[in-house]
Amino acid sequence: MRRLHVVSVAVALPLMISACTGGPTPEATTASQPTPEVTAGGEAAEPQFAEFDPNRFDSPTLIANEWLPLQPGKRWVYEGTAVEDGESLSRRIEFTVTDLTKEIAGVRTVVAWIVDYNDGEVVEKEIAFYAQDNDGTVWYLGEHPEEYEDGEFVTAPTWIAGLEEARAGIKMMAEPKLGAPNVYQGWGPAVEWSDYGRVEQMGQEICVPVDCYKDVLVNAESSLGEEGAFQLKYYSRGVGEVRVGWRGADETKEELELVEYMKLSPEALAEVRANVLEVEKHAYEVSDVYKQTSPLEYPVGTPAITVEVVETPPVNVPEGSASEVIVYASDLPQSALSEFEVWDDPASPGGKMVGTPNTGDELDPPPENDPHVIFKVQVQSGVPYRCWIHMKVGAPKGKSQANMLWVQFSDAIDQANQEVFKPGTGSYLTAEGPTQEGWTWAECDVADSEAEGLVYFRTSGEVTVRLQAGMEGVGFDQFVLSPRLFLEEPPSKAIVEE
């Protein structure tokens, strides 16, 4: 499903140097009917660019190509070996199709998540972008690969179609044919990315750990500067890539077989989403190319909230009673924060608060996935709780009054025993403070409704709390879930437990 490089950066870049220094830039050919051009030696001529037209992608995220079907939630796992610096190492590739999308070069793409392992160690995490045109051809529109050594981030040779002269390429024709020319799978001259491929064989039979397959298609892939070195990709109808081999002067001699092929559970897919969003957050920090792209999005109807597991110690509830739940921002680990920052504040318990910079932007409520904080607490079932947030209101800027947080809970119900306020839905409580600057206690209530803002829980035990910013510039230092002391009125000051 992609060209798998395992050689080090220092080795790989010289092999592809012609992509940026006078390498050929062939004329475009059409995606559906490429014109074969073969040299006297039997090898296809110089690679060609297929003509990319963003107006020919009516349903780009529905990738149903029989050789490369990319449905959200599908995962392929490959294992095998490769050679690096003359030594053999074990290889594992995990390729997952997410339910996230991203607009690139005027086309909405499907986002894939790929993790590479050498000898059990993660060496690369990658976000990759695919789309299918109206003819059924699958295009590749870019990638953000983050490379690691000894667990530390090293580099991210990102290329995105439409930026820095990068161009989209073809991963799989709608109707692959023998004799077709080499076609670029993408073009990223700024990072010397120039992979191309063509159909090598058809009608093959192979067996891998998952199954045996007939009528297998084999593509030969290479890059500019890797003369005589080819990676062989084996594709089965309705499954996709099932094997990777090599021929010629390929120094990596990578061989992989499909060992797992599955549909992920909603919970597993949610975990993948969280990983992808974490890498994208980092991408905006380290890649000048990625900074020019719009954020990842969720398809309509897809829950946009990932309930993350964080290490915040839960507040204990004495057996047979319901106690006040108090969570201090100073106790939240960094893993609980998404696009929130920790700031020093001497007036806050523990001397810390969390918040977002005031850029003047209004934010969208759940199920949109704007800046948020997630942590876990212990609660008692059948007891009404009222929620309070000690909020710091920032100076107004633009439309923002910086005074709003949206609140959600797992396992929450209303007085009629109906599920409410669940992460991933459009049900939430609103904590809105005054517009003047300073600290205030804000009650979590049902906005634009006379309904009582009380929260009940279906069962006793641990639940997830999710606070999402409603305005840029909002911050808080305490969250209180009260069944007794503050059911009717807010605390009069910051609460500090003895």
Least confident of 51-65, 149-163, 279-293, 377-391: 377-391
Q: Please check whether residue 393 lies inside any domain of the structure.
A: yes
195 and 313 together in one domain: no
Q: Which amino acid is at 333?
A: P
Q: Please check whether residue 300 lies inside any domain of the structure.
A: no
* pLDDT tens digits, 119-158: 999 999 999 999 999 999 999 999 999 999 999 999 999 9
pLDDT of residue 200: 94
247 and 367 together in one domain: no
Q: Please check whether residue 294 lies inside any domain of the structure.
A: no
Q: What is the percentage of the chain residues whose pLDDT exceeds 70?
A: 83
399 and 254 together in one domain: no
Long-range contact pairs involving 343-347 (C-beta distance under 8 Å, separation at least 24): 343/475, 345/392, 345/477, 347/439, 347/494
35 and 144 together in one domain: yes
477 and 358 together in one domain: yes
| Number of domains, the chain | 2
400 and 440 together in one domain: yes
103 and 226 together in one domain: yes
Q: Please check whether residue 287 lies inside any domain of the structure.
A: no
With 70 as the cut, is the pLDDT of residue 363 above it? yes
Which residue, 359, 362, 348, is CA-closest to 391? 348
Structure tokens at 46: 């110089």
Q: Please check whether residue 3 lies inside any domain of the structure.
A: no
Q: Please check whether residue 291 lies inside any domain of the structure.
A: no
42 and 183 together in one domain: yes
Residue with tokens 């609980």: 336
Which residue, 261, 269, 469, 436, is CA-closest to 355? 469
End-to-end Cα separation, the chain, in angstroms? 58
Report which secondary-structure segment, H or E, holds 437. Answer: none
Tell me what the mean pLDDT of segment 319-344 comes to. 81
Least confident of 25-34, 221-230, 258-267, 326-335: 25-34
Confidence band of 35 (pLDDT split at 50, 70, 90)? very low
211 and 346 together in one domain: no
Other beta carbons within 10 Å of 66: 17
Peptide bond between residue 367 and the one before it cis (omega within 30 degrees of 0):
yes
* pLDDT tens digits, 396-417: 666 555 688 999 999 898 777 7
Average pLDDT, the chain: 82
Q: Please check whether residue 155 lies inside any domain of the structure.
A: yes
Identify whether the C-beta of residue 443 lies closer than 8 Å to the C-beta of residue 388. yes
Identify whether the C-beta of residue 193 lies closer than 8 Å to the C-beta of residue 218. no
269 and 405 together in one domain: no
Containing structural domain, residue 477: 309-482
Spatial CB neighbours of 178, under 8 Å, sequence gap ≥ 6: 199, 201, 202
124 and 50 together in one domain: yes
Identify whether the C-beta of residue 4 lies closer than 8 Å to the C-beta of residue 256. yes
CATH value at residue 383: 2.60.120.260
Q: Please check whether residue 2 lies inside any domain of the structure.
A: no
Strands (E), 352-437: 352-355, 372-379, 386-393, 404-409, 412-413, 429-432
Other beta carbons within 10 Å of 192: 22
Which residue, 113, 77, 115, is CA-closest to 261? 77
265 and 322 together in one domain: no
Long-range contact pairs involving 61-64 (C-beta distance under 8 Å, separation at least 24): 61/101, 61/108, 61/109, 61/110, 61/131, 61/132, 61/299, 62/132, 63/110, 63/130, 63/131, 63/132, 63/138, 64/132, 64/136
| Sign of the alpha-carbon dihedral angle for 272, 273, 278, 279 | positive
Domain boundary among 232, 255, 278: 278
Domain boundary among 278, 294, 328: 278
Least confident of 10-19, 136-145, 359-368, 463-472: 10-19
